[in-house]
Structure 1
Amino acid sequence: MKRIITDGTPGDVHPRDPSKIFLTVRDRLDFYRNEIQCEITVLSDRSNAYLGAQSFLVVVYASTMANLNSEWGKIFTLALPVLLAVFGLILSIQALPGLKSSYAVIDHWYAKQTFMMRNEPLASVDRDGAPLFHYRETMQNGNNKALAFSMRTPWIFGSLWVLLGCFSVYVHF
């Protein structure tokens, strides 16, 4: 194992016990919550980029289906919408692992936070002025419901692209 040698004692090491990173239970809780916040931001950014790309593709798909050009409109309204549907489906398949990984990391930090809340005597005591120390704040069920939209959108858009691609072919034949 490699070690980085530095001068002095780092500020995040407990002076009496160098193996402890966190001085208090509150420090550990703040760390867990900060990690959860960062991962939720990453998940939100990935979801926004995905939804923006899908919105653009839906608008382009609708525009290509509305083409009324008599010379090349028939082949254009068959080929391009099917290609857009395939592209949208591929984007949905590609977006799913990134969203799942963010979701898994958020689950990991929530599990650590919940474990700490249930097992640390100081964290499990209700305190006036510190409502964040209550275990109900860390329930997994609420986390799953909150993140469900980001996890379902690739499946919804993937299904939509399959239907739209089939519709494009059906309309022409």
Structure 2
Amino acid sequence: MIITPQTPEKAIKEMETEIFVSPKDRLDFYRREIHNETSNLSSRTNAYLSAQSFLVIAYSSSMANRNPEWGEIFTLVVPATLALFGILSSLSAWPGIKAACDIIDHWYVKQTGLLNCEPVIGQAYDDSPLFSTWESSHSGQRKSLVFSKRTPWLFSGFWLFLGSFAIWINLL
């Protein structure tokens, strides 16, 4: 069934009760979604960092070119082009990384709401909370996503600096 804004509230409630038999089923579903999106974010961040590391190696190699015939023009054009490519790839990676972080945020909010309204599933066998307040709080979860969110912006600044440096050093 496709849910639209015109779908009656009663039909949505019936569908939700059919999908989740117990609050634990709902918690398990939320945890699986968080795990899947975290894996997705990890894959995107790893691919992005791998691409950036290859660009840094290519940039360094091109800056070291001292060929007497065409080395000057090469060290002016190629490093600046690689820096531009680094900026563009950072800007291209940002939406995917941000989307994964937003989806993780969404499922954490749902999980926290469930843990707050169903205290029975929040208790372990020894009556201590299954999830600490830091683990189930929105601020704790957001801190864990900071690296992935900041990396494209840090590399964009890094590439802007390196591109400017390549042009500056060759025009002196």
Q: If the length of structure 2 is used for normalisation, what is the TM-score?
A: 0.85
Instruction: Give the letter aligned to residue 166 of structure 1.
Output: S
Counterpart of 1:47 in structure 2 is 45
How much has 1:146 moved relative to structure 2? 1.1
2:115 aligns with 117
Written as runs of structure 1 = structure 2, the 5 A alignment for 1:77-92 is 77-92=75-90
Q: How many residues align?
A: 159
1:31-76 CA deviation, whole Å, 9 max, x = no partner? Answer: 1000000000000000011001000000000000000100000000
The Cα shift of 1:122 comes to 2.4
Cα distance 1:129–1:41, how it changes in 2: closer, same or farther (>3 A)? Answer: farther
- Which of 94, 100, 104 is equivalent to 1:106? 104
Matched, 1:128 2:131: no
Secondary structure at the aligned position of 2:121 is classed as helix
Contact 1:118 1:135 (C-alpha < 8 Å) held by counterparts: no
* 8 A Cα contact 1:61 1:81, kept in partner: yes
5 Å-filtered alignment, 1:6-17, equals none
Question: By how many angstroms is 1:19 displaced?
Answer: 5.0
Amino acid at match of 2:102: A
User: Offset at 1:135?
Assistant: 5.7
The alpha carbon displacement at 1:94 in A equals 0.4
Q: What whole-Å deviation, never above 9, does each CA across 1:70-127 have from its counterpart, x for those lacking one?
A: 0000000000000000000000000000000000000000000001111124234x33
Normalising to structure 1: TM-score of the pair?
Answer: 0.85
Residue 134 of structure 1, CA deviation:
3.7
| Shift in CA distance, 64/94, structure 1 to aligned 2, threshold 3 Å | same
- Runs of 4+ residues deviating >4 angstroms: 129-132
What corresponds to 1:73 in structure 2?
Answer: 71
Structure 1 unaligned residues grouped into runs of 5+: 3-16
Distance 2:128 2:50 in 1: 37
1:26 and 1:135, CA in 2 relative to 1: closer, same or farther beyond 3 A?
farther
Q: Which secondary structure does the structure 2 equivalent of 1:48 belong to?
A: helix
Q: 1:106 to 1:85 in 2, by over 3 A?
A: same
2:6 aligns to what? none
